[in-house]
Structures are given as C-alpha cells and as structure tokens.
Amino acid sequence: MKEHNLKNSPIFLDAAAPMLEPRVLSKHLPGLLEGEIDVALATVGALEGFRQTMLSVGKWLELERTSQYPICIARTVSDIRQAKLEKKISIVIHFQGAEPIEDKIDFLNIFQKCGLRVMQLTYNSRNRIGDGCFEESNVGISAFGKQVIRRMEELSIAIDLAHAGVRSSLEALEIATKPVIVSHA
C-alpha cells in the first residue's frame, strides 16, 4: 500500500481488549486479523500493583522483541501506520484503572517509556485518583488525581473516563487541557 493511500485509509481500532494478553495471543490473533483490526488497546494493568503490571508489560515487550507474532507495541501514530503497512497489529498498552501506579506519580514515567498510552482513572470503585461508577458517594477527583491527570497530559497518555463516576468524569474534563476518551461504556 502506498503511503498516500495509507494516510487516507481507515484505522480499525478495538478500544477495549481485556482478554488480549500474551499467554493467549495465539488464540485471539486470528480473529483480530480476520476482522482486519489494525490496533487493539490491550488491558495490561487494572487492579494489579506496579510489580505485577510490569511483569505483564515485560511479556508484551518480549513478544514484540522476538517477532513471534505480527504485532508491535504502538507508541506513536507513525508506529500504527508503519505496522499497518507491514500487516502487523498495533498493541496499545492500556490500563483499566490506575492501581499499577500505586501512590507514585513517577511510576507513570516508567510505564510511558514502556509504551503506556491510555489509562482509565478508575475501574468501577474508588481508588487514589477518584470515584468509579459504582461508588454511591460520587465525590470526584482527589488532589493526587489532579496531579495524575496533569502528568498524564505531560506524557501524552490519554485520559480514559470509562468506568469513572459521574463527578470524577466531569471534574476530569474540567482539569484536562487536552481531549479525553471513553474507550468503552
């Protein structure tokens, strides 16, 4: 495919692929290829802490390094376009919730260098950042959450409001200076 045509061709994205993980990639890859999916947001972290999430990130990076499967970890739009040219599926590292960063904002720096590009602020319940959609209290974003949102924007990690509570979502929109997403609802 010529570069010009590639820029004009659609990119097909699976914005919530929690079942897509390294140990079962061979099971799900044929369906992604058959469905002509170009990009999948693979849930690499959710309720796990830093160490467990880094083990999962490491497995994805190892699959990319060995070229065992036609995938690449997409860190930029150019990576996605190049992968499409090479008939590979781009994997975008996605967190469903912020538990992997624990209470250390600098953990975002580490995960971003490893490929994290999308992170939900919460996953249904209250966490250090704010209230999830199952919380009756609906108190919104914490002071730490405000710092996290600012750091995410500095690092070009998309703020994902899926599973966030109403007030958390509205406050995140007020704090954010860049567009946010809702990967699934």
Query: What whole-number distance in Å separates Cα of residue 90 and Cα of residue 104?
Result: 28
Residue 4 pLDDT > 60, yes or no?
no
Task: Summarize pLDDT for 96-121 with one digit per residue, the tens.
Answer: 999 999 999 999 999 999 999 999 99
User: Looking only at Cα atoms, what is the longest distance across the chain?
Assistant: 53
DSSP string, 112-169: HHHTEEEEES-BSB--SSB-BTT-SS---B-HHHHHHHHHHHHTTPEEE-TTB-HHHH
pLDDT digits (tens, 9 = 90+) for 146-177: 999 999 999 999 999 999 999 999 999 999 99
The 10s digit of each residue's pLDDT in 27-61 is 999 999 999 999 999 999 999 999 999 999 999 99
Which pair of structure tokens corresponds to residue 10?
A: 């659609």
DSSP 8-class letter at 42: E
| Confidence check: pLDDT of 65 > 70 | yes
Query: What is d(CA 25, CA 6) in angstroms, rounded to the nearest whole number?
Result: 26
Q: Retrieve residue 85's tokens.
A: 């040219």
Query: Confidence band (pLDDT; 50, 70, 90) for 1?
Result: very low
Burial class (CB in 10 A: 0-12, 13-18, 19+), 5: exposed
Q: Is the pLDDT of residue 9 over 90?
A: no
